[in-house]
Amino acid sequence: MTASPRIFHGPANICGMGGYIAAWQRKEKNASADFIVFSDNTPFQNSDKNLHFEKKRYWARQISQIQFFFWAVKKYDLFHFYFGKTLLPASIDLPILRLLGKKIIMNYVGSDIRLYRLLSKANPFYRLRKAKSRWDHFDLAKRARMIWQGLWFHYCFAGPELYTHAQTSIPKRKIIRDTWINKTLNVPKTRPGHARNQVPLVIHAPTDVHTKGTSFIEQSFKDLQSEGLQFTYRIYQGLPHDELMEKLTEGDILVDQLISGGYGTIAMEGMAFGKPVCGYVMPSIRKQIPDLPIVQCTIDTIKDQLRDLIEDNKKRERIGREGWEFARKHFDRETIYEDVWQLYLSLWNNKLSY
């Protein structure tokens, strides 16, 4: 057995995660690690290879998947999958990979396992969220997939926001909840300068306007301006990631979302940049993360919270500093990726029971 496994990341690109960690493993550990995706319409575009299966007809796509599966089986020892996607339809590749002695990690990230039944009980605003697809609220399909995949993978990552959903269908001993691999950034070691626009700039950058509650957020901006409050706002959607980050550095306040009840990459990036971030985070998540500095807003309270932040520069400064400190503590990419690497090695050297 070699000192370290040959690693496959993919086949879905979720916020660039697979690309970032594969690049780190090559640079820091001299590992053989590749991030290969079947298709990619995200702003990140950081895969080592995009197979562009979306350009193929249905049967050609199926044949290409099977061909790629056999190629990957020969090349890789450890498979790190994302968003519940694997190499073959219905994850029928997983028992084959296990039979061949491969190591398997699953990285759940959000709507792939969030259960509508649980969310609608815990989050009074979730009913306002429009489903991205007909499967989004189909809990039975999600649970069936988790049960099936949980039979075969060695471990899965499902952080504090997802653990409640994962434990309904996956053995708890296989769930890693304390390594926040979904939430990693190169957080500056010193806090970036506090934005000091003469007229405060508020930014909202939704990946999906329906799941973020953009209509409610934009209406609050308009209502506050109609009341005479002096500020400007920008809503960005569809920008390349690097360009969006440049825009974000110019803002004084970032508004994340009012519907989903959690927080995503843009909120993390806002905190890393030292910006005060507003959004609705379910009490159950706040209980698990008591130092989370996101300003709690709901559809009913966002105007008051924004007014307070816009008018109080010192409060913006304080919350922005707390956000950067939180990001340094929880999102540091080097620390998290080292933890993942040690998990790989323990699996590869058969030091873990599973």
User: Do 201-330 and 7-184+332-348 have the same topology in CATH?
Assistant: yes
Q: What percent of the chain has pLDDT over 90?
A: 70
pTM recorded for the entire structure: 0.83
Contacts 24+ apart (CB under 8 A), 308-316: 309/200, 309/253, 309/276, 309/278, 310/200, 310/202, 310/224, 310/229, 310/230, 310/231, 310/252, 310/253, 311/229, 313/196, 315/276, 316/194, 316/200, 316/252, 316/253, 316/276
Confidence check: pLDDT of 210 > 90: no
The answer to whether 87 and 68 have CB atoms below 8 angstroms apart is: yes
Q: Answer with the residue of higher pLDDT: 276 or 331.
A: 276
Model pLDDT, residue 47: 95
Closest CA to 122 of 260, 245, 284, 319: 284
Confidence check: pLDDT of 254 > 90: yes
Burial 104-120 (b: 16+ CB within 10 A, else e): bbbbbbbbbbbbbeebe
| Residue 122 falls in which region: left (phi positive, over 0), alpha (psi -120 to 50) or beta | alpha
Q: What percent of the chain has pLDDT over 70?
A: 96
Lowest mean pLDDT among 6-10, 274-278, 282-286, 316-320: 282-286
The domain covering 201-330 belongs, at the CATH homologous superfamily level, to Glycogen Phosphorylase B; (3.40.50.2000)
Domain spans in the chain, listed from the N-terminal domain onward:
7-184+332-348, 201-330
Q: Rounded to whole angstroms, how far apart are CA atoms 220 and 226? A: 10
CATH architecture of 7-184+332-348: 3-Layer(aba) Sandwich (3.40)
Round the average pLDDT of the chain to a whole number and report it: 91
Q: Answer with the residue of higher pLDDT: 195 or 66.
A: 66
